[in-house]
Amino acid sequence: MGALDEGHFNVELENGVKLGGCFEVGFDEEPETLAIEDAVKVLLQGLGEDINREGLRKTPLRVAKALQGGTSGYRQKVKDIVQGALFPEAGLGNGVGHAGGAGGLVIVRDLDLFSYCESCLLPFQVKCHVGYVPSGQRVVGLSKLSRVADVFAKRLQDPQRLADEVCSALQHGIKPTGVAVILQCLHIHFPNFEAAFLEPNHQGWVKVLVTSGSGVFENEKADIWGDFLSLLRFRGINVEKTHSKNSADHCWCPSRSSSKMVPANSGMVAAVASILQSLGEDPLRKELLGTPTRFVKWLMNFKNSNLEMKLNGFVHGRMDPFKSNGDINQTEQQIHSELNLSFWSQCEHHLLPFYGVVHIGYFCAEGVNPIGKPLLQSIVHSHGFKLQVQERLTRQIAETISTLLGGDIMVVVEANHTCMISRGIEKFGSSTATIAVLGRFSTDPAARDNCFCRAFQTLLPLEDDL
């Protein structure tokens, strides 16, 4: 049925505290919270940041709340969720039931879950499909299938173990004829600073599909699996290629793709280890041994740096061939645009990634070659790889480009924020847009509309779907 035996789950079903317990009055005074705050301050200082500057003063507490909420599954009772929602249903014997779909099968599709990867502490998204075959005159409230899955997602996880834990918990809690779980997992894959410049077509995601089954679903070739997959395909869900629990790729996390572990700041590594301990995890658990170092290596991509930006030989404020002069009439200038420039950044409020695309519009004199895409992409990356907020990122990109092009600039940034998704404020696929307009774009609505129309004709969707 999975990697976890019944004894483990008899303990699992008994332990924990009630839902929401970590957000009672006085949360910010709890020892675990204070320990996480202290650790986050060490990380911020290691990045060269001023922990007292506006925007960062409350970051340690915000990060502590986000992490405690994102790992609240350690402190929840599966037993309370399941046993309070079992209902008698006539006509269900001890064998395969007759209520529900094919052969008594009941499934819930497209459950959106959010978890933290135990290998790197970066978030990953999960589309969960779970089903069971009732028996013993027992059915469970359908919302409880989602809540049980969420309990295990809100822990440091690996996709296959997550599927096995959900499957095992439902099997032991409901005691059905069988349980099936399919997870479609999407792990964010940020490039490092250097790779972002060298790999313009970098793929920002790693995808994996895993399954777990118990009872009548334990045999992956059983006919009942065909019924389960058919009910998914009925809604256009393609899960043909899955990893079985015996062959799942244990290196699915991008941070583990390199076997070489580069030394990291020891103080920052110790701070991450203390965060793991404060969340109720054992930093010495085999799967977590390299996690602090991997997280610090990733975080250092966003180290505060005062390196002078030299963009293809152009230094800020210096006259260049693209800048217009007073001899060129505005009517002789055309609007040019560069769309879907990728960016990756780190939210300074929660230390969680946000990512997306940047669209840039500007006026260029007729007969003058437009500014090259590589230069604009370099500007975007230079401002993205630091602790940021989207509004500031948008403004900084616009101001930097204006020093090269004379000031008539329009910048639109579309971003997905994992800090919003992880806290349940936004759903998968939602995005936030910000705009900065300088020069003529700020006073000429027709120019802005023209630029928007160009963008709408060629925009690519933000790639966030499983």
Task: Establish if 466 belongs to a structural domain.
Answer: no
Rounded to an integer, the average pLDDT of 329-356 is: 83
Q: Could you give the CA distance from residue 317 to residue 215 in angstroms, rounded to a whole number?
A: 70
How much is the pLDDT for 335?
81
The pTM (predicted TM-score) of the whole model is 0.80
Backbone angles phi, psi at 182, to 5 degrees: -125, 130
* Residues of the chain above pLDDT 90, percent: 37
Is pLDDT of 87 > 80?
no
Of the pLDDT bands very low, low, confident and very high (cuts 50, 70, 90), residue 283 is: very high
Domain range for 41 is 6-302
What is the rounded CA–CA span in Å between residue 442 and residue 182? Answer: 50
- Looking at the structure, do residues 296 and 384 belong to the same domain, yes or no? no
Phi-psi region of 377 (alpha: psi -120 to 50; beta: other; left: phi over 0): alpha
- Whether residues 209 and 358 share a domain: the answer is no
Q: Are residues 142 and 198 in the same domain?
A: yes
- Tens of pLDDT along 452-462? 776 655 555 55
Total number of domains in the chain: 2
Answer with the one of 237, 271, 302 that is the final residue of a domain. 302
C-alpha separations of 146 from 20, 105, 150, 169, 428 in Å: 16, 16, 6, 12, 16
In a domain, 410, yes or no: yes
Residues 316, 272, single domain; the answer is no
Within a domain: 464: no
> What pLDDT was estimated at residue 358?
94
DSSP annotation of 243 reads B
- Residues 381 and 453 occupy one common structural domain: yes
CATH number for position 162: 3.30.1130.10
Residue 182 to residue 294: CA distance in whole angstroms: 28
Task: Sort strands 310-311 and 123-133 into parallel, antiparallel or unpaired.
Answer: unpaired
Last residue of a domain, one of 286, 302, 318: 302
Single residue among 261, 280, 302 that ends a domain in this structure: 302
The long-range contacts involving 21-28, CB below 8 angstroms and separated by at least 24 positions, are: 21/75, 22/68, 22/69, 22/72, 22/75, 23/65, 23/68, 23/69, 27/65, 27/68, 28/61, 28/64
Same domain, 335 and 289: no
Instruction: Look at the block and give the residue holding tokens 């290691």.
Output: 46
Return d(Cα 135, Cα 173) in angstroms, integer: 12
